[in-house]
Amino acid sequence: MGHAEPLLPRAFDSRGRLQMAETSLEAFDESGRPGQLFLVHHYDPADLSAGHKLAVTGSGGVTRHYSAAELRQLPERDVTAVLECAGNGRGHLTDRAPGNQFGLGMFGQATWKGVRLADVLADFGFDDTWEYAIVDAPDSGVTKPENIAAHFAKGLPKFKALHEDTILAWAMDGQQLPAEHGGPLRLIVPGWYGIWWVKWVSHIELTDAKFTGFWQNQRYTYQDANGTVTSIVEDQLPRAIILRPMDGQHLQDPVRVSGVAWSGEHQIAAVNISIDDGRTWTQSRLTLPSDRWAAACFECEIPVGLPRGLRRISAQAIDNAGRVQPWTSIRNRLGYGNNDIQTVTVDLSA
């Protein structure tokens, strides 16, 4: 096999910079860490000064500003978690949905370092009259095809805002967080799709009013065929990704299948492998991560001596809440949360 480029460009912004890019599956190591992390910007990235500060506003309207140095005086927290775009796998849908037709490389695992959002709010001195933390970013623009002017913001529910692993990160895998991935400060919301992981966080407001922003109530929602919103895109669905062998690879016995799996708010309980389109399944060997939000690793050998030629290999994740990755996920108009079972085809040679 040749060496693929780590990132596959999908879109460029108005200044010709990479705006959306998918990680090639060949560029992942067996723990699910990418050669380069996928990229999604909804507007031109914000240009932030070195003196960027975080503003926090309480439910009474009082605001306090935190410099980077002040945030780093609070206890540090490391969180290893899988970041996944809600549009991951949209391009594999049989019924096309609007938007970029991503393959399965819109995910990546990293170790994020920062400060708990709960610790920042405790230092600020919040009361209990709020239900949502509105997390604002300075990037804005006009979205298509809706033609709506908006800035990027999300209304994080209180229970998730105060979770001990929800952090404001300034580093990724031991390095300063790059601007293209949200530096100097990015919200990390483990278990939830990447739309919640707000980049370039500039302002957090505590409120008891339900958030009605575009990026929460119109885009990144599950909608029926008529465009009626049925729910908001939140936690990741169970998914197993076969990383080895690659689709279309020519192989001889023995064939080892390996990959990673995750399931949002829940943990992986099993990953099963089928070589006969689901008629029978073999349970893979599972290595559970030591970190709560990291991917589980799986591996399995398919039987030796199968008839030569094309063979389909499928992987199915099951989590500890009993959720089973389906052959066909629940369809929605915008193609979010497609967690259809992945199948790779290999060519067995004599």
Query: What are the tens digits of pLDDT across the range 246-304?
Result: 999 999 999 999 999 999 999 999 999 999 999 999 999 999 999 999 999 999 999 99
Nearest residue to 70 via CA among 9, 130, 120 = 120
Average of per-residue pLDDT across 11-21: 90
Which helix (H) or strand (E) element contains residue 175?
A: strand 175-176
pLDDT of the residue at 44: 85
Q: How confident is the model at residue 4 (pLDDT cuts 50, 70, 90)?
A: low
Query: pTM to 2 decimals?
Result: 0.95
Range of the domain at 96: 7-232
In 10 A of CB 253, how many CB atoms?
14
Number of H helices, E strands in the chain: 4, 24
Q: Is the peptide bond before 307 cis (omega within 30 degrees of 0)?
A: no
Clarify whether residues 290 and 211 are in a common domain. Answer: no
In-domain check, residue 35: yes
* Average pLDDT value over all residues in the chain: 94
Clarify whether residues 227 and 244 are in a common domain. Answer: no
Average of per-residue pLDDT across 59-72: 93
The CATH number of whichever domain residue 282 belongs to comes to 2.60.40.650
Clarify whether residues 216 and 250 are in a common domain. Answer: no
**Gap between the Cα atoms of 136 and 188, Å rounded:** 14
Amino acid (one-letter) located at 236: Q
In-domain check, residue 180: yes
The CATH number of whichever domain residue 163 belongs to comes to 3.90.420.10
E strands along 180-323, which residues? 186-188, 203-207, 221-223, 229-232, 239-244, 250-251, 255-262, 268-274, 282-283, 285-287, 296-302, 309-319
Q: What is the pLDDT of residues 110-166, one digit of tens each?
A: 999 999 999 999 999 988 899 999 999 999 889 888 889 999 999 999 999 999 999
Clarify whether residues 227 and 248 are in a common domain. Answer: no
Clarify whether residues 151 and 208 are in a common domain. Answer: yes
Clarify whether residues 69 and 180 are in a common domain. Answer: yes
Clarify whether residues 273 and 142 are in a common domain. Answer: no
Clarify whether residues 20 and 107 are in a common domain. Answer: yes
Amino acid (one-letter) located at 87: G
In-domain check, residue 2: no
Share of the chain above pLDDT 90, in %: 87
| Alpha-carbon torsion angle 203, 205, 209, 214, nearest 10 | 10
Clarify whether residues 71 and 116 are in a common domain. Answer: yes
Based on the structure, what is the number of domains in the chain? 2
pLDDT of the residue at 1: 43
Domain boundary among 232, 266, 293: 232
pLDDT of the residue at 3: 52
Clarify whether residues 160 and 221 are in a common domain. Answer: yes
Q: How confident is the model at residue 2 (pLDDT cuts 50, 70, 90)?
A: very low
In-domain check, residue 165: yes
Domain boundary among 189, 214, 232: 232
